[in-house]
Structure 1
Amino acid sequence: MNTFRLLRLILSCTLFFLLLNVCLSCKEEKEHNPIVTIDTPVRENVKIYGEYVGQLAAKKKVEIRARVDGFLEKMLFKEGKFVNEDEILFEIDETQYVARVNKIKAQVKQAEASAAKAKRDIARLKPLYEQRAASQLDLDNAQASLEREEANVLMYKADLEQALLELSFTNVKSPIAGFVGERQVDIGTLVGSGGASLLTSVFQTDTVFVHFHMTSLDYLKSKASNVGLTQSKDEDNDNSKNIFKPTVSITRADRTDYPIMGIVDFANPQVDSKTGTFALRAEIPNPNSELLPGQFTKVKVLLNVVENAILIPNKAIIIEKGGEFVYVLRHDKTVEKRFIQTGEKLEKRVVVARGLFADEQIIVEGQHKVQAGLKVIPTKENDSIWNNQNKKSENL
């Protein structure tokens, strides 16, 4: 009986030590294989922008000038305020223009009276001519006199229209709605062709233009891209595949981003030989008048859209003399050193042009612990094994 118990004890101890040995072997294997963080590339459209310095301008700037001569009598606006279309801004002395209108009105009446008399003369001569009591010459003279007086009526009426038009010009109106600028003359100044003609300017700023210059190299890149940079914003792009609109974003005076985007609506077809750049213009809505004409701004223009691009974190890339490479995790959890060709670099990510597929997994942290062919323990950043490893490192 004692022998049986002894054998049972020996077998139990042997089994315990065998299991302990297996556990220790697994633990050593796990400790030998480094823990790394992996991630999968992302596919998405990547927008490539160019940044330039631009200057804002009002969509419309109208110079208000005196169209008739005279002394300036009144200014009916406040500088810098909004004015409506056809609102009167200035009044010029109208005395001489009222007198001219009245004079021409009298001339019109005189010509109309003469024409009426000529008609009556013809009416009297026709019966006499038919009775051979008046000659053909008398009738012809009467007809010529009527035509001459009717021509005078038309001439004086035309003069009257011109005089009334000049009289209306004494009330200087704004041709557009917008903000009026500083006055250029004072009350009592002789204005018109004989004096100062520029009175002020009116700016329409509910929409503004931003003017900027692009290098010819950027222009060539945009021509090869899928962004229709030189196309009008109203142009139909049905015949072009994958054409994106050349959107523009700008900054305010405090360098914060302006929330409303614009569209490039004009590109100068000629390059400036002195600077090697060409001019572009974008139209941007300005409903709250936050943007002021003349203001300088940073312009961000969409130049290209890389469709279905493969993106990986910058921290996954290792640079050496041979180029750039990443560590790719194979299906058997071994590491492969893979050289890649990168494209556009974003803030925290980079476009992979060649060398990597979207469904492959790459090591983004722990590259210093691995080499090609080594088997690793892959984890995501939020995995418990990774958090436990970090806690151990912190305790050490």
Structure 2
Amino acid sequence: MFKKLLVGFILLLIITGCGEQKKQKAVKETPPLPVKVVTIKSSNIPIWMPYTGKTQASSSQEVRARVSGILEEIYYQDGDTVNKGDKLFKIEQMDYIAELELQKAKKNRDLAGLKLAQADVKRYSILAKEGLAPQADLEAYQAKAEAIEADIAYDNAKIDQAELMLSYTIVTAPIDGQVSRRLVDIGNLVGKNETTLLTTINQVDPLYAYFAPSEEDFQKIDRLRSSEVMDAYIDISYNSKSLQKERIFGHVNFSDNTVNPDTSTITMRVEFANKDKRIFPGTFVYVNVFVTDKIPLVGIPPQVIFEDQQGKFVYIVDNKNSAQRLYVKPVYESRFFVLMKPGVLKDGDKVIVNGLIRLKSDLKVAISDVTDTQGIEAIIKNNNLVPLRNVP
């Protein structure tokens, strides 16, 4: 009985050993994992700083009644695009025409009086010279003529004023832009004891986008910027397929001189063309500011970065075609790429960009180089990240 058990136990060991040998052989025969890689090459990569912002009209003008009267005409439709000088409203003119005619009549009366006074001066000049009239009478007529000349100058000023007031009865557009809805209707009394607001005009071409980087970011931008005028572009943040695919370029034309004490931010502004007027003031946008492309850096796609307790790392391929974990220290991260100083990642290193969840150190891989389509230069080109001054 004991011999039978011993023989059975030996047979079991033999069978188990054979199974382990087969498993080990199967492991050894596992083919390399096919992966795609990009080859590292340090270069001057353009750095864009992303922010959220809000658009605002480059000029916004209130159109007010500068004279009082009944509104007689409205020459535009709500929402029309107008040019500077276009007629918008007409206020009744009868009182202002009458005032102008009154001032002209007064001037004509004074001109007639001046003609008579000048004749008296001429006549008394001869008489006084011959001693036939007192010198005092001559001086009185001279003073009268001068007073009438002053009255005529006053009349001219009053005529100019009357013409100006009459011109105010035709309300014109002070700027090019889009007119808002009218705030008064025909027949309303406007301008009585106040400058009645009639409508507003927004100039939306060009359009501004305001954003507020932190004080630290502002100092970084100011320190690293490679040109006096910084390029920028905006992406529309709302869900519009036609606009989401369009990138609108412009430039930074203003930065405030004061830090907001509540938010520790500094307001900046991008100006960009809006010729088709599809973007309205008050739209939330993504603002991207070009800082520099004068610093040699290493760039990789953002999806290849992993992180554990020791820090951020990527997988590279060593000279034995095995995957190896390499810890890195990014200096700049965006949704397009991650940048770091040359050193840890060296020119010629091959970074794995797919199959990442299946990777582990020392795993054999079979590589396919996709640098031309997924490398840093392809990312810059495909996402239109070339600064405007570098575009031919």
Normalised-by-shorter TM-score class: 0.7 to 0.9
Contact 1:52-1:213 at 8 Å conserved across structures: yes
Rg larger for = 1
Shift of 1:206: 2.0
Structure 2, unpaired ranges of 5+:
1-27, 371-392
* 2:287 is the alignment partner of 1:310: no
The amino acid of 1:79's aligned partner reads D
Contact 1:190-1:196 at 8 Å conserved across structures: no
C-alpha spacing 1:110/1:224, structure 2 compared with 1 (3 Å): same
The amino acid of 2:233's aligned partner reads V
Instruction: Tell me the TM-score normalised to structure 2 length.
Output: 0.74
Match of 2:247 in 1: 259
Q: CA RMSD in A?
A: 3.2
Shift of 1:379: 4.8
User: Could you list the per-position Cα deviations for residues 151-185 of structure 1 after superposition, in whole angstroms to 9, with x for gaps in the alignment?
Assistant: 11111111111111111111111122222111111
Match of 1:292 in 2: 280
How many equivalent residue pairs?
334
Match of 2:341 in 1: 353
C-alpha spacing 1:293/1:47, structure 2 compared with 1 (3 Å): same
* 2:235 is the alignment partner of 1:250: yes
Mapped to 1, the partners of 2:348 and 2:285 lie a distance apart of 43
Contact 2:107-2:156 at 8 Å conserved across structures: yes
What does residue range 154-303 of structure 1 map to in structure 2 within 5 Å?
A: 154-194=153-193, 197-227=196-226, 233=229, 245-251=230-236, 253-255=238-240, 256-303=244-291
Shift of 1:351: 2.6
Match of 1:237 in 2: none
Mapped to 1, the partners of 2:303 and 2:171 lie a distance apart of 67
Shift of 1:219: 1.4
Match of 1:370 in 2: 362
C-alpha spacing 1:272/1:155, structure 2 compared with 1 (3 Å): same
Contact 1:34-1:370 at 8 Å conserved across structures: no
Contact 2:214-2:265 at 8 Å conserved across structures: yes
Shift of 1:262: 1.4
Mapped to 1, the partners of 2:365 and 2:190 lie a distance apart of 88
C-alpha spacing 1:348/1:258, structure 2 compared with 1 (3 Å): closer
Shift of 1:39: 4.7
Match of 2:388 in 1: none
Instruction: Tell me the TM-score normalised to structure 1 length.
Output: 0.74
Mapped to 2, the partners of 1:74 and 1:33 lie a distance apart of 85
Mapped to 1, the partners of 2:303 and 2:153 lie a distance apart of 88
Mapped to 2, the partners of 1:348 and 1:264 lie a distance apart of 21
Shift of 1:320: 5.8
Shift of 1:260: 2.2
Shift of 1:60: 1.6
Shift of 1:66: 0.7
User: Could you list the per-position Cα deviations for residues 89-145 of structure 1 after superposition, in whole angstroms to 9, with x for gaps in the alignment?
Assistant: 111111111111111111101111111111111111122122111121111111111
C-alpha spacing 1:193/1:268, structure 2 compared with 1 (3 Å): farther
The amino acid of 1:162's aligned partner reads Q
Identity %: 28
Contact 2:207-2:274 at 8 Å conserved across structures: yes
